[in-house]
Amino acid sequence: MNQELKLYIDNDGDIYRYMTVPINKNLLKKMQKETYRFNKSIKSFLNLCNSAAKKYCKEFSIPQKWNIHFPIQSRRETAEDMAKNFGNSIGGKNDLYKFHHGHFFDYSTMKFFKSRIGASFGRVFITSEKYRDKKRYYTIRFLDFHGDIQTFGKFQQYETLKQANKIAYTFYQWLELENLNNSGFQRRR
């Protein structure tokens, strides 16, 4: 049942325009203000699922009540999937925010250093900082296994985003290969 509801939500233009887009915008604002909570995002998507279930039953003249046709467990699973997909759709930054335990992503810290978060590849991401109205430079950073942000190379080492992206992606691939090798997986030769 939850697949049927998810397909309906994804393919109905009114639901997308008047509910999904505003929820996504609201959650993005909460992330920027650092008030985002995953459990509360599930609640937002559950409200969306409830409204979509009502509309579905009315549109297709289902003789059962909407809450019987789409049981709460089914709607809750759909809402959780939507919340997880939302987190993954913002480029993995959600995991960075969730697993980092310091003040790196605080609004005041980012504003003080005039920092921006650029592309991210898993635990590897790019920041740019601008110092005293000079040119913006780029730094490659990564989230270590303790939840701390580390700098790869030197601070503001790259002059262009293109340079930083290339090196960051290569570093990400190397980290993934290291994780694969350390997991006990042996390649056949």
Q: Any idea of the CA torsion for 81, 50, 15, 74, to the nearest 10 degrees?
A: 30
Question: 113 and 50, same structural domain?
Answer: no
Domain extent at residue 42: 2-90
* Helices marked H in 18-135: 21-33, 38-59, 66-69, 72-89, 93-99, 107-112
Kindly tell me if the per-residue pLDDT of 96 is higher than 90. no
Kindly tell me if the per-residue pLDDT of 133 is higher than 90. no
CA distance 163 to 174: 17
> Model's pTM, two decimal places?
0.52
**Element of type H or E holding 166:** helix 161-182
Domain ends where: 56, 73, 90? 90
| Number of domains present in the structure of the chain | 2
Give the tens place of pLDDT for each residue, 46-56.
999 999 999 99
Q: Is residue 51 part of a domain?
A: yes
**Average model confidence (pLDDT) across the chain:** 81
Question: 85 and 13, same structural domain?
Answer: yes
Q: Are strands 136-143 and 116-121 parallel, antiparallel or unpaired?
A: unpaired
Q: Is residue 189 part of a domain?
A: no
- Provide mean pLDDT across the span 162-189: 71
- Provide mean pLDDT across the span 96-107: 66
